[in-house]
Chain A
Amino acid sequence: AQKVTQAQTEISVVEKEDVTLDCVYETRDTTYYLFWYKQPPSGELVFLIRRNSFDEQNEISGRYSWNFQKSTSSFNFTITASQVVDSAVYFCALVEDFGNEKLTFGTGTRLTIIP
């Protein structure tokens, strides 16, 4: 069965520091998708990125970057030069296959950026 582990429950960093959120996944499928969602204090889950299992290229979007490594089953998320607005709970999630598109979530990492 699929599983997503976010070992870091809470992280606090001072503003402008870089921070990496870890995500390790387990799946028996060769085709799968990985996601990151952000949950700000307002409560809704905001989609950040989707990555399929055939694309191991790292991705950068502004201050956000993602490192996908199939060899270690990890999909880590780095925020560079953190800002107070980055404070939120971040969830990593997995979808295993077409036709069964339910997201399997990790327990989330609460990130606090200290001004």
Chain B
Amino acid sequence: EAGVTQFPSHSVIEKGQTVTLRCDPISGHDNLYWYRRVMGKEIKFLLHFVKESKQDESGMPNNRFLAERTGGTYSTLKVQPAELEDSGVYFCASSQEAQGRINEQFFGPGTRLTVL
């Protein structure tokens, strides 16, 4: 079974440009999460999809970030326009939906974003 995949693995862009990150969850996983780790700090939650619906987007830093999950399969995270402080590693994770319990989240390898 394929794990969570993310594309690209690295992205280097200039301030003001736009970048789109993609995440393909494990097949059959309804839950999809985005997290971010800014250098030296903890991994922080950005948002959570259940199928195609945004369940929780409380961690999105501002309106320059837009996440979508059309059709409830893969997800994209767009940053427009990118700022220097957006640099970091963006992780995607997925988990199965389960009533009455919290399932473990399976993570992708992350996308390292560098904004110059």
Contact = CB atoms under 8 A, between A and B. Distances in A.
A101 B104 contact: no
B42 interface: yes
Contacts of A99: 55
Contacts of A102: 33, 45, 48, 56, 59
Contacts of B43: 91, 103, 105, 108
Most buried by B among A42, A100, A103, A105: A103
Interface residues on A, range: 20 to 34
B110 A43 contact: yes
B48 A101 contact: yes
Interface residues of B, number: 27
Contacts of A50: 102, 104
Given A44-B109, A44-B110, A107 B42 contact: yes
A82 B102 CA distance: 30
A86 B68 CA distance: 36
A68 B101 CA distance: 19
B1 to A, nearest CB: 14
